[in-house]
Amino acid sequence: MSTLPDLATVQHHLDAAAFMNQLAMKVTELTQTSITFSVVVNESHLGGANGAAHGGVITGWLDTAADFALIGTIGQPVPTIDFTVNFLRPAVLGDQLTLIGKVVRPGRTASIAEAELHSSNGKLLALGRGSYASSVANGAGS
């Protein structure tokens, strides 16, 4: 197991990357096997006239939450190998969302993690699950 970084260090990783900065995620909790973020749906997240967040933005939120859940076990976020999303309900403009990323299975070459997106009233909006190239963190790949 890796030593947990403080929340400010994790937030710096998010803010330093232009795409992740646009996602506007704020880290609120980190454990060895999970991470929690908050995000408010803003106009840059919208995908059309219906006032709902674009599916690509939701996928970005979920993938980031799942990937960053691995920080506690492999020490850093790593490249995504594949990622699957189930969209259940729309995320609407102005809603305060919660993202929870969880490690399913850490591995030396590949790890599995998942994430959930919840609305401010606790409804499950979307689920994501992916595999990640943990070998990059172990120096075995690029």
pTM of the model: 0.92
Q: Are strands 96-105 and 111-118 parallel, antiparallel or unpaired?
A: antiparallel
Residue 70 in any domain: the answer is: yes
Residue 131 in any domain: the answer is: yes
Q: Is residue 106 within 8 Å of residue 44, measured between CB atoms? A: no
What is the Cα–Cα distance from 53 to 42, expressed in whole angstroms?
8
Phi-psi region of 7 (alpha: psi -120 to 50; beta: other; left: phi over 0): alpha
Q: List the one residue out of 102, 103, 61 whose CA is nearest residue 85.
A: 61
Residue 1 in any domain: the answer is: no
pLDDT tens-place values along the chain, 142 residues long: 567 888 999 999 888 888 988 999 999 999 999 999 999 999 999 997 788 999 999 999 999 999 999 998 888 889 999 999 999 999 999 999 999 999 999 999 999 999 999 999 999 999 999 999 998 876 655 4
Q: How many structural domains comprise the chain?
A: 1
Residue 142 in any domain: the answer is: no
In angstroms and rounded to an integer, the radius of gyration of the C-alpha atoms of the chain is: 14
Residue 28 in any domain: the answer is: yes
- Which pLDDT value is given to residue 142? 46
Residue 96 in any domain: the answer is: yes
Residue 2 in any domain: the answer is: no
Residue 125 in any domain: the answer is: yes
Q: What is the CATH number of the domain that holds 94?
A: 3.10.129.10
Domain of 56 in residue numbering reads as 7-136
